[in-house]
Amino acid sequence: MTWTSSPKARPRARDFFPALLLTFVLLALIQAFVGRLYLIPSSSMEPTLHGCPGCSNDRIVVQKVSYYFSPPQPGDVVVFSGPESWNTSFEVSRSRNVLVRGVQNLGAVVGLVPNGENILVKRVIATAGQTVSCEEGDPSVMVDGRPTNQDFVLDPPEIPIDDRAGSVACGGAYFGPVTVPEGHLWVMGDNRTNSLDSRAHLGDKEQGTVPLDAVRGRVEAVVLPLSRLQSVDRAEL
């Protein structure tokens, strides 16, 4: 007796749909509650994080879990959504084609493309109740009257400083004092002379501070490019 094997049925596209749907849901949940990748868009956090137009910009891992249990601390590098007054020139980059735009929006859910928020990266310098300033004669940015460590700040400054209105120690123009309101943070870029941070928004109703509910997570590491693979630790201020 001769046995013949029946030809195997070719998998159909719909056979993969449940697995694809499950993968999409899992990725979306991870992005929403655990963490995600972000691309550094500018040089405001040099030398800690690298970014510039046309460069191989850093991709960073940002985790959310820590802040479920305790708020951001001075020295943390955080990702946050820009408050309303920080978004005057922000535009979401999306295709005019309805189908392409739909794919882009789905990609944003799982972190493959930027979402619709003005995502920014800065370092926490002061938290609720602390007073931050940098005035003429100060040796560095001051928090509650004490100088802060600035070993992580880009040196020498990228942009020349007018010593009639500011100093290298202040990273630009003098400012403050500002007392951080409850539920807010004072943030600054490590590239002090080329960072639109809390100092640039002192005229806002919150005096440049960022609400805690705008924080999306803490930067843990640079993962790409591989040549810059490194952890991003909390600085001792």
In order, the DSSP letters of 150-193 are -TTS-SS-SS---TTTEETTTTEE-EEEEEPPTTEEEEE-SSGG
Query: In the block, which residue shows the tokens 């959310």?
Result: 64
Cα distance between residue 198 and residue 153, in whole Å: 16
* CA-closest candidate to residue 194, choices 69, 43, 15, 70: 43
Token couple for 158 = 């990228």
Cβ partners under 8 Å of residue 136, min gap 6 = 167, 174
d(CA 70, CA 19): 36
Catalytic positions are 44, 122
Using alpha carbons, select from 212, 234, 203, 200 the residue that is nearest to residue 80: 212
pTM for the model stands at 0.84
Q: What is the dihedral of CA 168, 217, 112, 48, to 10 degrees?
A: 30
Domains of the chain (ranges plus CATH)? Answer: 38-231 (2.10.109.10)
Tens-digit pLDDT string for the chain (237 aa): 555 555 565 666 566 677 777 776 777 677 778 888 888 888 999 999 998 877 788 989 999 999 999 999 999 999 999 988 887 775 666 667 777 666 666 666 555 566 667 889 999 999 999 999 999 999 999 999 999 999 999 999 999 999 999 999 999 999 999 999 999 999 999 999 999 999 999 999 999 999 999 999 999 999 989 999 999 999 999
Contact predicate 82/90, CB 8 Å: yes
